[in-house]
A and B are shown apart, each in its own frame.
Chain A
Amino acid sequence: MAVVNHETKEVTFKIVYCGTPVGGKTTNLQYIHSRIEADQRGDLVSLATSTDRTLFFDFLPINTVVINGYATKFMLYTIPGQVCYNATRQLVLKGVDGVVFVSDSAPERMEENLQSLQTLRRNLVNNGITVETLPLVFQYNKRDLPEAVPVTYLEYLLNNSAPRRVSFEAAANTGYNVFATLNAVAEQILQKFHLATQPTPTPVAPPQVNEGQRENSPSTTTGARHSDPAALSS
């Protein structure tokens, strides 16, 4: 759910990178961070637990272009793949506008990829988000592995339900298709935002809007910047 602040003329979108542990989510953010000018981005913040291995999350704010007089801000997050951090995932997924699902192309990670996707779907549903209408892009990472499974199989395993999603082969360590993935999800988010904010013609009958669609629609505010959609709706 995009957050629009009319007072500061700012629109904020939240993109979350999900996927299996050690699948390349953080590497994606690190690459994006390294390629964006310092004046357009904030710090890349990573929060790790005491074992110093498992990331709680990464966070990268990107201040970008002005669209129709509104400054656009993208908040990029990663969420941990580990099952034990389900609560963190729920928290970070709150108010998400778009998801990049980063899957690992290593053969032995296929089952984990699938489980991670199923968990993501559950977390989205628990947050009241309609999965079918949420912008979501698949990134098949680590294509440089010698034994990377065929993309056909990854599509069959992960991207096999209607509607099909856009997917990319990628190698986040080199930056291959990292921005293409981000661009694709941003396109979908902006398109959805545009459609949602279009002035609607005089309706013949009120459209049927279910809870999920209402949840995913953009919200506006005129007060201080609220980055948490739940705070706006409450």
Chain B
Amino acid sequence: MRLASVLRSVSHESLGFDPEKVPDTVMVDFPLSLIRPQLATGRVQVGLNDIISGVAEKFRPAFARAQPSLMANLPLSELFHALPSEAIPAAAPAPLASPASFFETPFTNRATEDATRIPLPAPTPIAQQVVPLDLPPLRVPPPVPEPAGEIAEAQLPSFITAHDDLGTPQPASTLSTPPPSHLPLRGAVAAPALERAPLAIELPELTKPIGFLPPLPMPLAPPATQAPATQAPVVAAPDFSAFQPTPPASEVLEMVLTAPAPAEQPTDGSGVISAAEPIAEAPPLPVPAPAPVSQDFQFGYREHPAHMSLRHWLQASGEMSPAIALAHVSRLAGVRAAVLMTGNGISTEGHATDAEAAFFDKAGLRYQSLKMMLENMGQPVQGSFTMRLDNAASTFFLEEKICLAVLQDEASLADEMRDKLTLVTRELASLSN
């Protein structure tokens, strides 16, 4: 085998020289007894002594600085080229687990078709074929006899270099003692000593003790008001507790993934808002009605911090609520429709295509199945999970007791979009708390 490829998995530091510099012509031999027992593990390793004894004697001094514990993984691709075919071990003869079967399966015809239609593909060529150039023959110099006895350092092959921390390999013969580390760096200029500048502002002496102002009275936030029907598409929907008692997750998962569309579309009366009504274009975002001027004292009123965060992440202004946030989400680039599922029900936003209607129909069950699968596996019920179907992909963002699901244009969401929606889901979860 080529020594260069054997040393490819070994670091510069543990070898003491750069393995990249080893010419391809230097070969190393290993005994079959060393290789063969290791083939059963799928990995063949050799130690420093194996390498040293496998290379020509003149190269052995090159390993003088190598770490004794050095181990190199042999590249199996090259090993199989080097091994004689009879050296590759074969499986022990044993009877087949299932003798020839007489059962025609649903896939028999396809297998027969493919056998005639698709040939075994030829291996991909590694590189383009090299066209030999028409060059005059080289004049080969006469061979130089090797000196007997120990090889002087100057006669070592050119690839053998000393370990050089500066990254530039130097021939071992010219290596000088490295400079002590306490010497100043070349080119470094001593910084002039800083003089203490006088303070520009003289602080007056305090004549009174410092006190703190009493805190302002903080009125309670106004109770949450029911959003008008024209603004908020969120309406109470059947509670998820209706899914109880729950069967095992794996069963639910299979049932959900194969579940046909419900026979009846949910109507407004059922408590689930569906965006399945034909909409020519995306409806405008609900404009919040101007807040009535209240006679009550409003100073100090603070909105929920999540509202501010949602406005920030969704680059929106004005009033913010889960329904409005959902409407914004459904208009994000790459998002076709969005569903928000909470303990109170389901909200949907999107256009009225078949794909979106199917997405709305199955989102609740898929959320449940995901949740149960994670619980079954002992995993926290949070994170984002992309589900790809034939021609649609959707991502479910799970956080505490809510789930934001989006039907997307592409097979996967952009990283920034995924991060953004994760943060939006977190804020929506904090609102629901």
Contacts and interface: CB of A to CB of B under 8 A. Distances in A.
Contacts of B98: 135, 166, 187-188, 191-192
A42 interface: yes
Contacts of B126: 146-147
A176 B258 CA distance: 29
A107 B41 contact: no
Contacts of B102: 191
Given A91-B376, A166-B96, A182-B111, A72 B106 contact: yes
Interface of B: 39-43, 75-77, 79-80, 85, 88-92, 94-98, 101-103, 105-108, 110-111, 113-115, 118-126, 247-251, 254-255, 257-258, 373, 376-379, 383-390, 412-413, 418, 422
17 contacts: A42-B258, A43-B390, A46-B388, A47-B385, A49-B385, A94-B250, A110-B42, A111-B43, A136-B97, A143-B120, A148-B123, A153-B39, A156-B91, A183-B107, A188-B101, A190-B101, A194-B103
A164 B103 contact: no
B114 to A, nearest CB: 5
A92 B101 CA distance: 27
A162 B94 contact: yes
Contacts of A135: 97-98
A110 B42 CA distance: 5
Interface in A14-34: none
A189 to B, nearest CB: 8
Contact of B80 (A107, A163, A164): A107
B3 to A, nearest CB: 18
Contacts of B89: 153, 156
A47 B367 CA distance: 12
Interface residues of A, number: 83
Given A111-B41, A166-B98, A45 B388 contact: yes
Nearest to A177: B114
A83 interface: no
Contacts of B90: 152, 155-156
A219 interface: no
Contact of B76 (A61, A107, A156): A107
Interface string A69-103: 00010110000000000011001101100000000
Binding site of A, secondary structure by majority: helix, strand, loop or mixed? Answer: mixed
Contacts of A91: 249-250, 373, 376-377
A203 B59 CA distance: 75
Given A163-B95, A174-B118, A50 B258 contact: no
Contacts of A194: 103
A213 B96 CA distance: 19
A160 B422 CA distance: 48
Contacts of A165: 96-97
A184 B383 CA distance: 39
A54 to B, nearest CB: 11
A180 B103 CA distance: 14
Q: B106, B249, B258 — which one has the most chain A CB atoms within 10 A of its CB?
A: B106
Contact of A108 (B76, B119, B124): B76
A144 interface: yes
Contacts of B113: 179
A113 B40 CA distance: 12
Q: A112, A132, A144 — which one has the most chain B CB atoms within 10 A of its CB?
A: A144
A171 interface: yes
B257 A187 contact: no
A190 B105 CA distance: 8
A234 B89 CA distance: 46
Contact of B103 (A48, A94, A111, A190): A190
Given A156-B40, A230-B250, A179 B412 contact: no
A156 B39 contact: yes
B91 A59 contact: no
Contacts of A2: none
A191 B98 CA distance: 9
A132 B418 CA distance: 44
B385 A48 contact: yes
Interface in A50-64: 50, 52, 56, 59, 61-62, 64
A150 interface: yes
A147 B79 CA distance: 11
B110 A179 contact: yes
Contacts of A59: 254, 257
B384 A50 contact: yes
A157 interface: yes
Contacts of A176: 114, 118-121
A160 B98 CA distance: 15
